Structure 1
């Protein structure tokens, strides 16, 4: 996990709406649990006793991990292993999952591999099918246009013949020199069309999308902080100052916006002319800009989208 600005909580995926009325009860119940467990079996047994269906059990797993495991970079690579055959790989993977999940649940700290592994192991014990997914992530403006590499891990859950995306690492909070817990249920059963904005799986079938989004498209798109505003233009996340004088920015939204401003690196500027009526439109003048490298827009003082300047 790298530095990122916490995006806004939005409604859970429509496909789970039948269970949303129970999630608050699940979350409040899980908050009464101990903050540490001696084994994954003990936590799974507690969840199985308190909840009856797989949606609620999965939510309980997410909620407990997000509320009790802190991100700690020193946990990276604690149980790395090598193998020379498929049989040896399968055996060592089981050992790895057991050791890592036990460490995370007892120590209360992890990096993404620990979060996602613990989530899978708990689901396994609850007889809920799930798997760990690896891929690339975008968390900072400098990630726009970067070379693709696999640097993150999350989960897919299978319930009632449907697949759902979960990222309990990002759901737990943010990290910038130290961990700050900000539980965000946006990352529980996230809409795949939104998830792909910041997560790109190593194997594209794990994106859970019918349409193809290329790695190049993923890497070159702007950095999204708030998905309640749909960007119309520009679609490219890299703005070349030497090639443009002014750029028209257009957003589609149903929300009322009273204030818009933008940061050029660390200095903030107001946007004085705003057109509305289903869309927000405003123009930014990039003449006389030299060293600035990052552009972030704020709607009503909350971060919405970021661009890289060249």
Structure 2
């Protein structure tokens, strides 16, 4: 076998082994962190305990994520009624940096002590603990995509923040704000629901729901148009690696009576696949075909279809599209 092929095979197997080992390590971390106290006197005490209990950077990065997600709750009232931004004066660059650090330290301590925060508090606390444990960590600010109205939205807003942490020679994407739970509009409150999928999320999935203000990731440009006009994917899609192959746009332009082809990877005929019509009634897809490791099916676009169409797999929402008449 040529030397080049041997090297390529070795690199591929080594990459698979590293990823498998990484997954193995972090799966056990949550069980240990769940037994931690809900409160520590200082962030230094928490970082010290994590440092003693876990040896690898991967475990420590996950431990920080898990502890914050288990114990810090999203402050929805603060989100609805944000505090006034307080400015400050300074006479030198050094004084400016000191005051910025003080504002950031206050934000961290407030989140840590009150056990409540919005995304700025989550990300600042994650970075603080990571850096105490010797991990390189950054805060990224940008736009997020969370509801149907975001499909095809014209404006990009800086309304969210997340982290990147450097582990095992790779930057890992982390959104601990979304890892701690979600807002249930039917109940009118936050629901605490730990979700591991926003730790080391696959960039393809992550950037379907996040758009950085810089417009780039690790030096590569990210398409603003693809983000705004792409379909809305849900947590189940990420959890089960349901890749949406078709349509590739989140905006479907149709005439009444058109049939639109959908293709989703990693589902089969054994799954129950349906959508909701404009009366919110479930409609099972007809004559699905297994194709290339997934399922292909068509949906008739008629007067029963509303402004949006959401595909469900086994009762879980997977992906949504905006329907536009030609």
Question: TM-score normalised to the size of structure 1?
Answer: 0.86
Does the 8 Å CA contact 1:241/1:289 hold for their aligned counterparts?
A: no
Q: CA RMSD in A?
A: 2.4
Q: Which has the larger radius of gyration?
A: 2
**2:228 pairs with 219, 230, 233, which one?**
219
Map 1:4-153 → 2, pairs under 5 A: 16-76=19-79, 77-78=82-83, 80-82=85-87, 87-146=94-153, 147-153=155-161
Higher RCO, 1 vs 2 (CA within 8 Å, ≥6 residues apart):
1
Does the 8 Å CA contact 1:260/1:271 hold for their aligned counterparts?
A: yes
Structure 1, gaps ≥5 residues long = 1-12
Which residue of the partner structure matches residue 248 of structure 1? 261
Cα deviation, residue 81, structure 1: 3.9
CA distance in 2, matches of 1:89, 1:220: 40
Cα deviation, residue 269, structure 1: 1.2
Which residue of the partner structure matches residue 180 of structure 2? 172
Cα deviation, residue 89, structure 1: 4.6
Q: Is 1:158 equivalent to 2:158 in the alignment?
A: no
Cα deviation, residue 52, structure 1: 1.8
CA distance in 1, matches of 2:93, 2:210: 28
- SS in structure 1 opposite 2:290? coil
Which residue of the partner structure matches residue 197 of structure 1? 208
- SS in structure 2 opposite 1:149? coil
Does the 8 Å CA contact 1:224/1:304 hold for their aligned counterparts?
A: yes
Q: Deviations over 1:6-50 (max 9, x none)?
A: xxxxxxx96543233232332111111111223211211111121
Which residue of the partner structure matches residue 10 of structure 2? none
Which residue of the partner structure matches residue 185 of structure 1? 196
CA distance in 1, matches of 2:257, 2:231: 17
CA distance in 1, matches of 2:96, 2:300: 56
Question: TM-score normalised to the size of structure 2?
Answer: 0.82
Greater helix share, 1 or 2? 2
CA distance in 1, matches of 2:246, 2:30: 38
Q: Is 1:283 equivalent to 2:298 in the alignment?
A: yes
Q: Deviations over 1:164-222 (max 9, x none)?
A: 110001111111331111111111111212211111111133x3474x43101111010
Query: How many residues align structurally?
Result: 295
Cα deviation, residue 125, structure 1: 1.5
